[in-house]
Amino acid sequence: MAEQTAAQGAESLEVERKYEAAIGLRLPGAEAFRSAGFEARAPETQRLSARYFDTPEGALARGGFAVRVRQGGKDAGWHLKQRTAQGNRELLWPYGADMPEALREEIAGRIGVSPDRLVPIAELETERSTTVLCDAEGRELVEIADDRVRAREGVTGVRRAWREWEAELLPGAGSGAAGAAVLDRVEPVLLAAGAVPSLSFAKIARATGQLIAVARAAGAGEDEIAALERLDVSDRRAAAEGTP
């Protein structure tokens, strides 16, 4: 759901649910989605390349912000993302070699950080297959993304790899309770195919090994911490083995 603002670029609210998907898992086919009341369009494959930035001490991440530049896909360009209770609010500027001046102003004004202090913290390469789910009238409701991610942490050089499915609301689905109800219809189809809800809330936190620290700061229990530790071990092993 994007709208154009002269100084800020395109603004949108991203509402999605993430799922862990084993390497050999197959995304549900059209018949499975049709049983839940959706018509699935033919999948499209994209290759995405992204670099993420933060201060050396992680000031943006602590404030719930992320800055990235991405090539490939429908939203190539410079992004400023902010986690909120409603979803991820995102500002987008066109791709370019240099960070847009308007983005620099946003970072300084909204976050209180000099953009000159930002350094690359991670690089992500993603092979993405997207399937759009529509209703009987052809309104686009949900985009299912099947992502195979390879990440390299900028400071330590640690590599991680994983596969995840994302179900993201599209404008035709509505918002609030109406949008949640649409995702509630999609979820059983994905779970029946073998996916499980993901403990990861953002690719950048997973790529930099920050999921555990964030969970501890939020008061997560030991069971959740242990699950996140196992997830990180699995991600590192997958990268070493050359999967997904």
Instruction: List, for residues 45-55, the tens digit of each pLDDT value.
Output: 999 999 999 99
Mean pLDDT taken over the chain: 94
Instruction: List, for residues 48-78, the tens digit of each pLDDT value.
Output: 999 999 999 999 999 999 999 999 998 999 9
Q: Name the percent of the chain lying above pLDDT 90.
A: 92
Residue 6 is predicted with a pLDDT of: 39
Domain boundaries, the chain: 2-241
Q: Indicate whether 8 pLDDT > 70.
A: no
User: How many Cβ atoms are within 10 Å of 156's Cβ, its own excluded?
Assistant: 9
d(CA 184, CA 38): 13
d(CA 91, CA 241): 36
End-to-end C-alpha distance for the chain, whole angstroms: 31
User: Got the DSSP string for the chain?
Assistant: -EEEETTTEEEEEE-EEEEE--TTPPPP-HHHHHTTT-EEPPPEEEEEEEEEEE-TT-HHHHTTEEEEEEESSTT-EEEEEEEETTEEEEEEE---SS--HHHHHHIIIII---GGG-EEEEEEEEEEEEEEEE-TT--EEEEEEEEEEEEEETTT--EEEEEEEEEEE-GGG-SHHHHHHHHHHHHHHHHHTT-EE-S-S-HHHHHTT-HHHHHHHTT--HHHHHHHHHHHHHHHHHHHHT--
Beta-bridged to residue 9, according to DSSP, are 5
The answer to whether the CB of 205 falls within 8 A of the CB of 211 is yes
User: How many Cβ atoms are within 10 Å of 178's Cβ, its own excluded?
Assistant: 10
Residue 9 is predicted with a pLDDT of: 73
Residue 2 is predicted with a pLDDT of: 43
d(CA 189, CA 126): 24
Q: Indicate whether 128 pLDDT > 80.
A: yes
Q: Give the CA distances from residue 125 to residues 17, 45, 94, 174, in Å, rounded to whole numbers and listed in that order.
A: 20, 13, 19, 31
Q: What is the CATH number of domain 2-241?
A: 2.40.320.10
Instruction: List, for residues 196-205, the tens digit of each pLDDT value.
Output: 999 999 999 9
Please indicate whether residue 126 or residue 1 has the higher confidence score (pLDDT). Answer: 126
Average pLDDT over residues 81-85: 92
d(CA 31, CA 125): 31
The angle formed by the CA atoms of residues 183, 185 and 190, to the nearest 5 degrees, is 85
